[in-house]
Amino acid sequence: MFAQNCWYVAMHKDSLPSAKPVGVKVAGEDLVLYRDSNGAVVAMVDMCPHRLAPLSLGRVEGDDIRCMYHGIRFSSEGVCKEVPGQDKIPDNFCVKKHAVFESHQWIWVWIGDQAKADETLIVDRHFHDPEEFHVRTGSLAFAANYELFNDNTCDLSHVAYVHEATFKQLGDDDWSERQPVTMRTERSVKVDRWIENMPLPQLNGQRVDFSSRFEHSVPGVFVMDIQAHPTGTAQQLELGAPPADMKPLYHSATIQTMRPIDETTSEFFFSIMGPRWQAEEIAEMDFEFAKSGFAEDKWMIEAQQKVITAHPEEPLRMTLHDRAGAHVRKLIRDTQKS
């Protein structure tokens, strides 16, 4: 089941060259993306209505794309402009266009009712601003359903076990033994957690109060803000969010999301950011550290998918830590009704 009427990351912006169409499957839909003569991204169904050849094998001509099977040409709006050998253009020779948005790092496409496409629903992207942050991005192929990624990021109690060699050192067993503060919204779940008086490797083991706060939005976009403050800050703030004017000792952020391809295949996109007042070497270290952790997630989630595929009759059962993920699953199903 794929969420509808929402934005999915289709690809990294650098994966779409000028003057060359690229085919990509998003949430089960085959799309072709290309750049017009001004460099703006165009997205439409990857199918010529004549003989159903893929337009991703076509040729970009100015703002248009030409099917290279029989030469039929379409505008960036999906309107047929030329059928070689005849003057009359059939009314049904048109291609469905998809709303598309190019942000700092990624290209997003709207899946669902195109009349409902709303750019304001793209989650907070300010962490990708290169003027404010050192940004590192990457991707991984996952042989798993994208909702398993949602479950994984919404329930960080797995950090104490899956990530024994990596993320666990940022809080040890607190990830699993203490329940975070969870708040539900109409399109997301927000989870706030303090881990007090912990040694932080990025500060040479200095003890800090560690704040991790994330929002996980439909269809599955995870944005986490990580800060370290002097010990005692958590109690001073009564475990509330650090105010914007409180400069941390250490700051990092991550945005993660999946491009579902089909029910058991996905592509994981991730970015790691650090503020420009912090040494760029720290952002690079965090990125390499995170990649090791994401490889651990891949190993476990793909193994989980194999068991689910072999035992489709078995339900997924719940613990208290699953509340946030259960809410996101409900939101995804609610999009099917809208």
Going residue by residue through the chain (338 aa), what tens digit of pLDDT does each one get? 899 999 999 999 999 988 899 999 999 999 999 999 999 999 999 999 999 999 999 999 999 999 999 999 999 999 999 999 999 999 999 999 999 999 889 999 999 999 999 999 998 778 999 999 999 999 999 999 999 999 999 999 999 899 888 876 776 778 888 899 999 999 999 999 999 999 998 899 999 999 999 999 999 999 999 999 999 999 999 999 999 999 999 999 999 999 999 999 999 999 999 999 999 999 999 999 999 999 999 999 999 999 999 999 999 999 999 999 999 999 999 998 76
pLDDT computed for residue 173 by the predictor:
78
Identify the structural domains of the chain with CATH numbers, from first to last: 6-121 (2.102.10.10), 126-335 (3.90.380.10)
What pLDDT is recorded for position 171? 64
pLDDT of residue 326: 96
| Whole-structure pTM value | 0.94
Q: Which positions ≥6 away from 193 have C-beta within 8 Å?
A: 156, 178, 180, 181, 211, 212, 213
Give the strand pairing for 250-262 and 265-275: antiparallel
The answer to whether 6 and 146 are in contact (CB under 8 A) is no
**Residue 165 near residue 303 (C-beta atoms within 8 A):** no
| Residue 303: both structure tokens together | 């193994």
Pairing of strands 6-12, 22-26: unpaired
Q: Long-range contacts made by residues 26-29, C-beta under 8 angstroms, separation at least 24?
A: 26/109, 26/111, 26/259, 26/260, 26/261, 27/2, 27/3, 27/111, 27/219, 27/260, 28/2, 28/260, 28/261, 28/262, 29/111
Using CA atoms, how far apart are residues 201 and 198, in angstroms rounded to an integer?
A: 10
- Listed in sequence order, the DSSP H helices in the chain are 146-154, 159-162, 174-177, 233-236, 280-310, 323-335
* Dist CA 89 CA 67 (whole Å): 15
C-alpha to C-alpha distance for 300 and 162, rounded to whole angstroms: 7
How far, rounded to the nearest angstrom, does the alpha carbon of residue 267 sit from its chain's CA centroid? Answer: 9
Q: Write the single-letter amino acid at 105.
A: Q
pLDDT at residue 1, rounded to an integer = 81
